[in-house]
Amino acid sequence: DSGVTQTPKHLITATGQRVTLRCSPRSGDLSVYWYQQSLDQGLQFLIQYYNGEERAKGNILERFSAQQFPDLHSELNLSSLELGDSALYFCASSVAMGGPGTQYFGPGTRLTVL
């Protein structure tokens, strides 16, 4: 158990819909990262927040957005869903904003878009 929690574990929805994925980082960790794992793209970095502020952006679609709240939990919002958005979405957390610190991964949310 990494100490990072993600809800829900599974999500099945239809094209065009909007969903919210939630992540609670390990106690004391200020950084939250979101990654997408799909068969064709592999593991890709989406976005990072540190202590409530966006710090880095990767290959995140404009239909996707995220935020980190004062209690440090984070939410990833996916809208106008397409079939290709079906993937495993991981959240990871670390103590610092960057550097050599370990990122601890949650168990993931498996999104299926029908």
Partner 1 sequence: AQSVTQLGSHVSVSEGALVLLRCNYSSSVPPYLFWYVQYPNQGLQLLLKYTTGATLVKGINGFEAEFKKSETSFHLTKPSAHMSDAAEYFCAVSLNAGGTSYGKLTFGQGTILTVHP
Note whether 97 binds partner 1 by CB under 8 A: yes
**Backbone φ, ψ for residue 47 (5° rounding):** -160, 155
At 13, is the secondary structure helix, strand, or coil?
strand
Between 2 and 86, CB nearer to partner 1: 2
Pick from 100, 111, 94: which is nearest to 32 by CA? 94
Q: Which of 35, 64, 78, 85 binds partner 1 (CB under 8 A)?
A: 35
**Distance separating alpha carbons of residues 34 and 45, to the nearest angstrom:** 6
Note whether 3 binds partner 1 by CB under 8 A: no
**Distance separating alpha carbons of residues 69 and 38, to the nearest angstrom:** 27
Q: How far is CA 97 from the centre of its chain?
A: 16
Note whether 114 binds partner 1 by CB under 8 A: no
Between 31 and 68, CB nearer to partner 1: 31
Q: How far is CA 68 from the centre of its chain?
A: 11
Q: Quote the least distance from Cβ 85 to partner 1, whole Å.
A: 19
Q: Quote the least distance from Cβ 100 to partner 1, whole Å.
A: 4
From residue 41 to residue 70, what is the string marking binding to partner 1 with x (rule CB under 8 A)? -xxxx--x------xx-x------------
